[in-house]
């Protein structure tokens, strides 16, 4: 029982970073162990009795704050409305050369949005053609600014079929993977999840549904460009575009440029990946999470000092 309570606190602590309360089924899906309904209900009841967790309607939170539930419900409603746009954007991007799979990531993949939320995409490109694919897609995005649709196409994380396993194995990347919303590329996405079974160490109960995923399109534009670059010249161009982009991003990082959200601009570039620099967001989230776990440990120790049982401290997830 006490282990289950600790695990619930860990889950709520992570989502508390984003001021996002959870319902019971969501808590269970993100637990590091698989438990039944009765065990979950008993643990939640105990946590509520000890005032370590607070409940509003069907939502649980570490904070005694009704406004968090109102914020979440509004964000869920906006996310639902934005998903139609996300499907349209994904359909457009699926026609681009060397795109083999697409999934929604970011806050929208957690069923939350506000007026400024972009549509973030996780993209898998054909092996050794990531940089040709990315360059063509980002040239297209520049034109999207002309019609005010740039927020439809936030393509911030690419890998290719030659490197399907994500190297950063931590709670943040595990969360980002299990909450992806698959859009296109059924076989490629199945291969991706098969190569990242380590996420089960963090979220063994979280189901990833790949039913009804649409195959990526192979129109004339896509076929034509791929035919042109499927040779040694294509290899050379892909390598050149990688080096050119990496040099440009290193300069932005050195100049400490920030985007429209005030986040430092930085990217990690390699032959088989293009992704945000972990130190700009990922590392900060993990640090906040560890801090919250320490806070919960202190709260637990305070409760146990006033009772007769011994509560095992929450361990910091690394």
Average pLDDT over residues 51-74: 96
Q: Is the pLDDT of residue 278 over 80?
A: no
Q: Rounded to an integer, what is the distance from CA 240 to the centroid of its chain?
A: 29
C-alpha to C-alpha distance for 200 and 26, rounded to whole angstroms: 16
Which residue, 157, 154, 209, is CA-closest to 178?
209
In this predicted structure, the answer to whether residue 301 has a pLDDT above a threshold of 70 is: no
Q: Higher pLDDT residue, 52 or 253?
A: 52
| pLDDT band with cut points at 50, 70 and 90 for residue 310 | very low
Q: What are phi and psi of 251, to 5 degrees?
A: -65, -45
Binned at pLDDT 50, 70 and 90, residue 295 comes out as confident
Quickly state the pLDDT bin for 304 (edges 50, 70, 90).
Answer: very low
What per-residue confidence (pLDDT) applies to 280? 75
Q: For domain 2-63+283-304, give the fold.
A: Arc Repressor Mutant, subunit A (1.10.10)
Identify the band that residue 116 occupies on the pLDDT scale cut at 50, 70 and 90.
confident
Would you say residue 317 has pLDDT above 50? no
Task: Break the chain into its structural domains and give their ranges.
Answer: 2-63+283-304, 72-280
Q: Kindly report, residue by residue over 124-161, the tens digit of the pLDDT.
A: 999 999 999 999 999 999 999 888 888 899 998 999 99
The answer, yes or no, to whether residue 215 has pLDDT greater than 60, is yes
Give the Cα separation of 239 and 128 in Å (integer): 9
Distance of CA 82 to CAs 5, 15, 74, 107, Å?
Answer: 35, 21, 12, 11
Residues 6+ apart with CB under 8 A from 14: 30, 171, 175, 289, 292
Give the pLDDT band (50/70/90) at residue 314.
very low
Instruction: Please give the pLDDT value at position 285.
Output: 92
- Chain segment 63-110, per-residue pLDDT in tens: 999 999 999 999 999 999 999 999 999 999 999 999 999 999 999 999
Per-residue pLDDT at 308: 40
pLDDT over threshold 90, residue 303: no
Q: What is the full DSSP assignment across 193-207?
A: HHTTGGGGGT-TT--
Q: Compute how many other C-beta atoms are within 10 angstroms of the C-beta atom of residue 300.
A: 20
Q: What is the pLDDT at residue 258?
A: 63
């Amino acid at each position: 029982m006490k282990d289950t309570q600790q695990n619930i606190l860990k889950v709520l602590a992570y989502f508390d970073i984003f001021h996002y309360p959870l319902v019971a089924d969501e808590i269970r899906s993100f637990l590091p162990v698989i438990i039944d309904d009765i065990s979950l209900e008993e643990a939640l009841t105990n946590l509520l009795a000890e005032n370590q967790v607070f409940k509003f309607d069907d939502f649980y939170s570490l904070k005694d704050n009704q406004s968090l539930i109102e914020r979440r419900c509004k964000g869920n409603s906006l996310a639902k409305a934005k998903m139609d746009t996300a499907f349209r954007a994904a359909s457009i991007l699926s026609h681009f050369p060397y795109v083999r799979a697409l999934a929604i990531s970011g806050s929208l993949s957690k069923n939350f949005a506000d007026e400024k939320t972009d549509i973030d995409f996780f993209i898998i490109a054909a092996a050794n053609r990531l940089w040709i694919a990315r360059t063509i897609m980002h040239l297209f995005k520049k034109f999207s600014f002309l019609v005010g649709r740039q927020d439809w196409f936030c393509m911030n994380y690419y890998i290719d079929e030659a490197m399907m396993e994500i190297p950063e194995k931590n709670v943040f990347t595990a969360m980002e993977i299990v909450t992806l919303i698959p859009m296109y590329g059924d076989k490629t996405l199945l291969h991706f999840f098969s190569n990242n079974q380590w996420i089960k160490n963090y979220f063994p109960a979280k189901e990833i549904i790949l039913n009804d995923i649409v195959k990526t399109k192979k129109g004339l534009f896509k076929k034509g460009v791929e035919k042109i670059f499927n040779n040694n010249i294509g290899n050379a161009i892909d390598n050149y575009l990688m080096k050119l982009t990496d040099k440009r991003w290193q300069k932005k990082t050195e100049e400490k440029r920030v985007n429209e959200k005030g986040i430092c601009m930085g990217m990690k570039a390699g032959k088989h990946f293009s992704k945000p620099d972990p130190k700009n967001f990922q590392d900060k989230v993990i640090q906040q999470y560890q801090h919250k776990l320490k806070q919960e440990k202190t709260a637990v120790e305070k409760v146990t000092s006033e009772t007769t049982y011994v509560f095992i401290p929450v361990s910091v997830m690394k």
